[in-house]
Every structure is written in C-alpha cells, then in structure tokens.
Amino acid sequence: MSIDSTDVALPALTDADSRRLDVDAKQQLVGELLHDCGCDGVLVLDSANFRWLTSGANRVGLLGRDELPALYFTSMQRWLLASSVDSQRMFAEELDGLGFMLKEWNWSASREQMLVDLVFGRNVAADVPFRECKSAGQFFVTERRRLTAHEADQITELGRMMAHAIEATARNLIWGDSEEEIAGHLAHRLLRHGATPVALQVTGDGRGEFRRRGFGPQAVEQSCVLQATARKFGLHATASRTVSRAPLDETHRLEFDTALRLRTSHLVNARVGERVTAALDLGRNLLRPTPFEHEWWTAPPVMLTGREPSEGVFTMNAADRWTAGWAAVWQEPNWRRGRGGHLPARPGRLATADPDRR
C-alpha cells in the first residue's frame, strides 16, 4: 500500500524548536551583513540586539557596563561572551540548545580587554561604536523591527497577558485606593505571569495635565486610566484601559467616541506598503471639525515596539512605509488636558501593521 506523503502528520514544533529556528535564521541575516560589509565577524553589545539575536535571552542581576554579557557572530558560528559569574546560568536557563559557544572572562579580569583581544587583527563590525570596528548599528535597528513568525506569536501572547492584567486590575479596583496602590496590583499581576513591568501609568480622576506620568499618592474616586509596558520573551508590549465609576456624561462621551473613531481611522489606514504619514494625516483630518482639532500636537500618534519599548516614533514628515512584521503602539491625544474631569481614551493598546486589534 502506498502512502501519500500529504497524509503523514508531521510533529508540531516545540517552543524550543521554534526558537532555535529563529536564532538560525538570524544567523543567516548576520552572514549577509558580513558579506556585504566585508567583515570577518560582528560584535554585539547593545541589549536590544542581544535579545534579538538570542530570541529573548535575558541578562539579569546588578550588572555594570563592564560585566554585561555580549555576543560575537561570524557567518557560520556564534559565541556568548560572558563573565564566569554569568556564563553557567546563561547556558542553563537562557541559551541551552541554541548553538552558542562560549568565550569567558574571569570576573576579576576586564571585559574590555577580552573584547580588545577578540577584535585585534580582525576585520570586525559592531552594533555600537567600539575601537576601530565598522558601524553596523543601522542594520540591527532595521532588522529587529520586523518581527519573525516566532516573535509575532510571542508578542501576541504577551499582548493577551497585558490585556488580562490591566482588565483584571480595572475590574477589581477599589474606589478610594491611591494610584500607587493600583499600580502595585497591576505590577503584581504582570510579574506573577513572568512579565517584567517596564513602565506603569495610573491616572485617576482626570489628572492628565502631563501626557507622560507615572502614578502618585492621590486617591482614585471616579475614573482611572491604566497603562502598562512590560517585557517577556525579550519583547515589549504596551496596553491600556479606561474605567469609570459611573456612566459617561455627554461631554466625556463625545471625547471617548472621538478617540475611538480616531483609533479606527488609524488602524484601517495602516496598510502594508502605504506611507505611515497617510494614516496620520487622515487622523488629523478627522479631528479638524471637532473641538479637539489641535490635540494631535500633544503626543506622537504612533511608535514601533519590539525588542525595545519604543523602536522609534514617526513624525508627520516621515518617509517610512508600513512594513509586514512591524508592531506598533497607537497613542491617542490627551483630551482636555489640565481641565479637571477629563476621561482619556485607551492611549496605548497594541496594534500591528496588519492591523491586529488585540
């Protein structure tokens, strides 16, 4: 009996398999970089690039600049450069099975000297300025912005986790608690699922005179905007929600509905291949006949995210076009800034250039 190969069920990839394939694919990209710039290898020192090339490895602890693990890639091989204090944990918990080799320095010695010895006599590129190495920083900025399929799955999972943490905090909010107390509950919900809070914003009762703020000792009595940026898998996601103790009055409903229409306009017009500014211009045109015509000045509408919390803000003169694999954070204007009682609308939910509206 013949067996049609299409009837044979292939085993599903494990997370470890998917991560190894992701790292291998990035090795190929590095090989292309080295071929194009005529270098023997590339030294990787920047934290975001470290996370990108290791598909999420985490450097932990109280690390000074001269203690941070680094990476060295050739077209075919890759090494972790680490202190003897960190190397064992890095391989046991972060890099097992990913094909990295080790170049180690003793904690009592100098990382700087090891790096100097590594690049001496070689034609080496580096992602940040280092000695006489060629600059490769722009390559990494461009490539790490485009999320791979593996990274897209991870950031989607992180986005769901973020939404759950913020919504659970909002549902269980006790009116009269301070912004600091609410931020503590939100941080706890993120940490217990393995996500590290990077930035938390809790704005109660219309205290929105500053577009970017943290949280304070003030009590929250009537309304609250919760926003968080967190990191997991070496990736970042931002999300927010607004909660109100009572139904919105006519003024606040107008503000909130306008913000939602603006969000919809941005997402619908953020199409792969289209200019980023086209979506921004349409959003600005939507605001023109409203009382909020000039609110787009209060903050940049969109930024990319990924291995950094912000991978770059787009200005109104940007020449960029939406690219498949980008993850973007849309931020709405801060309605009625400085006039107590405003109710801002969801300033930082996760979106993608598809767009995916999770």
What are residue 242's phi and psi, to 5 degrees?
-115, 135
Task: Pull the structure tokens for residue 206.
Answer: 């219309």
Task: Measure the CA–CA gap between 20 and 317, rounded to whole angstroms.
Answer: 39
Please determine whether the domains at 15-145 and 149-352 fall in the same fold group of CATH. no
The span from the CA of 174 to the CA of 203, in Å, is 14
Domain boundaries, the chain: 15-145, 149-352
CATH number given to 15-145 = 3.40.350.10
| Amino acid 62: pLDDT | 73
What is the model's pLDDT at position 87?
95
pLDDT of residue 332: 66
Structural tokens at position 301 = 């509408």
Cα angle at 40 between 37 and 86, to 5 degrees?
A: 115
The third-level CATH classification (topology) of the domain covering 149-352 is Creatine Amidinohydrolase (3.90.230)
pLDDT at 54: 98
Q: Are 190 and 230 in contact (CB under 8 A)?
A: yes
CB environment 308-335: b (16+ within 10 A), e (fewer):
bbebeebeeeeeeebeebbbbbbbbbbb
What's residue 6's pLDDT?
A: 52
Model pTM? 0.88
Low-confidence residues of the chain: pLDDT under 50: 1-3, 5, 335-358
- Helices (H), ranges, the chain: 15-37, 47-53, 87-89, 111-119, 137-145, 149-171, 179-191, 250-268, 276-287
Give the pLDDT of residue 7.
54
Q: DSSP string covering 201-226, please?
A: EEEETT--SSSS----S-B--SEEEE
Strand 223-232 with 196-204, pairing:
antiparallel
